[in-house]
Amino acid sequence: MTFIFIVQLSFLFMLLSPASACDRCLYRSKATYSTSQFTSGSCGYGQLALNFSRGLQAAAQPSLYKEGAGCGACFKVRCMHPGGFCKSNGTNVMLTNSHGDSSRDFVLERNAMIELASEGKSEDLLKVGVVDIVYKRVPCDHQNHNLSVRVEEASNGPYYLAIKILYQGGQTEITSVGIATVGSRSWTTMRRSYGAVWDTNKMLTGPLKLRFLVKSGFTNNSTSYETPKVLPSDWKSGLIYDAGIQIKDIAQENCHHCDESTW
Ligand SMILES: *[C@@H]1O[C@H](CO)[C@@H](O)[C@H](O)[C@H]1NC(C)=O
Ligand SMILES: *[C@@H]1O[C@H](CO)[C@@H](O)[C@H](O)[C@H]1NC(C)=O
Ligand SMILES: *[C@@H]1O[C@H](CO)[C@@H](O)[C@H](O)[C@H]1NC(C)=O
Ligand SMILES: *[C@@H]1O[C@H](CO)[C@@H](O)[C@H](O)[C@H]1NC(C)=O
Ligand SMILES: *[C@@H]1O[C@H](CO)[C@@H](O)[C@H](O)[C@H]1NC(C)=O
């Protein structure tokens, strides 16, 4: 009787208590792998992705890809297949691509799937094909790289500018990008063209500064990062420009399985 009462009371409490914010929600899903390379992944990183997260890349289903907002997110993934096939601490992967199958959260590149396997078990794990996984979002390790932008080849100054955002740190999403001439307060909102690429056809002259709006998660508040100057007036396509800032925010989530342990 007392037991039931306590259970009911705690259940009621769960319903009434505000949802709790969590840095690392733990999710259960499935992953499979692809033998094709993700250098043409939908985020648009191309060969650059080979230098991110030790080149270990993942394609995510639409709810994680978020029409490109998920590009550059890092996840720690561990497989749960029985029989000693799986390494206990898993591996980190970066989201660089998308896939359409909502029954599995990730399609990993083959080398990333191999990283999930314990010593000598990679062939066995590859044979399983679709494996049970647990995963959590983690901050990306970009080894002190500042947030940077690569001017895309489609750019045609001063009439059209397309930039690809690189080395987004922390554990959050860039939700908006603004651009303005240095010294001006007239900001142009860029459009997410695809993946990690943002563009504008507003005429922009002179050296340019940027403003990034970053999701701060649970509270729905956003943090704004403004750079003093990123692009010189004679910017060149194909070049990467340092934004001089690092994003380290963690956008907390709301979940049932909060996992702050290290594995
Ligand atoms: C990857 O990093 C290495 C070492 O920093 C660098 O030499 C190489 O150009 C980079 N590759 C790409 C595609 O950026
Ligand atoms: C897993 O543990 C090994 C051995 O301690 C370590 O070298 C590796 O970096 C760890 N991997 C991850 C993704 O933490
Ligand atoms: C944040 O936004 C979501 C979706 O709009 C809403 O459901 C949620 O209640 C908001 N959270 C807070 C803490 O305001
Ligand atoms: C979020 O924004 C609200 C209203 O502007 C503010 O009161 C609150 O302190 C902010 N929360 C955080 C975590 O910044
Ligand atoms: C990052 O930006 C700061 C200026 O904000 C600069 O001093 C530093 O050298 C930059 N780091 C790298 C690795 O370029």
Q: 50 C-alpha to center of ligand 1: Å?
A: 8
Q: Are 27 and 119 in the same domain?
A: yes
* Model confidence pLDDT, tens digit, residues 180-217: 999 999 999 999 999 999 999 999 999 999 999 999 77
What's the token pair of residue 153?
A: 């080849």
249 occurs within a structural domain? no
What is the rounded average pLDDT for all residues in the chain?
A: 91
What's the token pair of residue 243?
A: 């934004």
pLDDT at 260: 85
- Whose alpha carbon is nearest atom 12 of ligand 2? 91
Domain boundary among 138, 171, 201: 138
Q: Is the CB of 242 under 6 A from ligand 5?
A: yes
Q: 250 C-alpha to center of ligand 4: Å?
A: 15
Residue 17 has pLDDT above 90, yes or no: no
pLDDT at 221: 86
Show the domain range for 172: 148-242
2 band by pLDDT with thresholds 50, 70 and 90:
very low
- Whose alpha carbon is nearest atom 2 of ligand 4? 221
pLDDT at 16: 40
Q: Are 168 and 236 in the same domain?
A: yes
Pocket probe for ligand 1: among 37, 45, 51, the residue whose CB has the most ligand atoms within 8 Å is 51
Q: Are 182 and 126 in the same domain?
A: no
20 band by pLDDT with thresholds 50, 70 and 90:
confident
- Whose alpha carbon is nearest atom 11 of ligand 5? 146
pTM for the full predicted model: 0.88
Q: Are 128 and 168 in the same domain?
A: no
Per the DSSP assignment, residues forming a β-bridge with 253 are 22
Q: Which ligand is nearest to the CA of 218?
A: 3
Ligand 3 is surrounded, with C-beta below 6 A, by 218-220
130 band by pLDDT with thresholds 50, 70 and 90:
very high
Q: Is residue 96 classed exposed, middle or buried when 0-12, 13-18 and 19+ CB atoms within 10 A define those classes?
A: buried
Q: Residue 71: which residues within 8 A CB-CB, separation 6 or more?
A: 43, 44, 45, 65, 95, 96, 195, 196
Q: Are 172 and 231 in the same domain?
A: yes
Q: Are 134 and 29 in the same domain?
A: yes
How many structural domains compose the chain? 2
Q: 195 C-alpha to center of ligand 5: Å?
A: 25
CATH number at residue 127: 2.40.40.10
Q: Residue 77: which residues within 8 A CB-CB, separation 6 or more?
A: 31, 58, 90, 91, 92, 93, 106, 108, 112, 116, 133, 134, 135
15 band by pLDDT with thresholds 50, 70 and 90:
very low
Residue 14 has pLDDT above 50, yes or no: no
pLDDT at 218: 78
* Model confidence pLDDT, tens digit, residues 153-181: 999 999 999 999 999 999 999 999 999 99
* Model confidence pLDDT, tens digit, residues 91-115: 999 999 999 988 999 999 999 999 9
Between CA 185 and CA 113, with CA 174 as vertex, the angle to 5 degrees is 155
Q: 3 C-alpha to center of ligand 5: Å?
A: 59
**Which is more confident, 65 or 12?**
65
**Average of pLDDT values for 254-263?**
90
pLDDT at 1: 41
Q: Give the three-state DSSP class for 249.
A: coil
Residue 3 has pLDDT above 70, yes or no: no
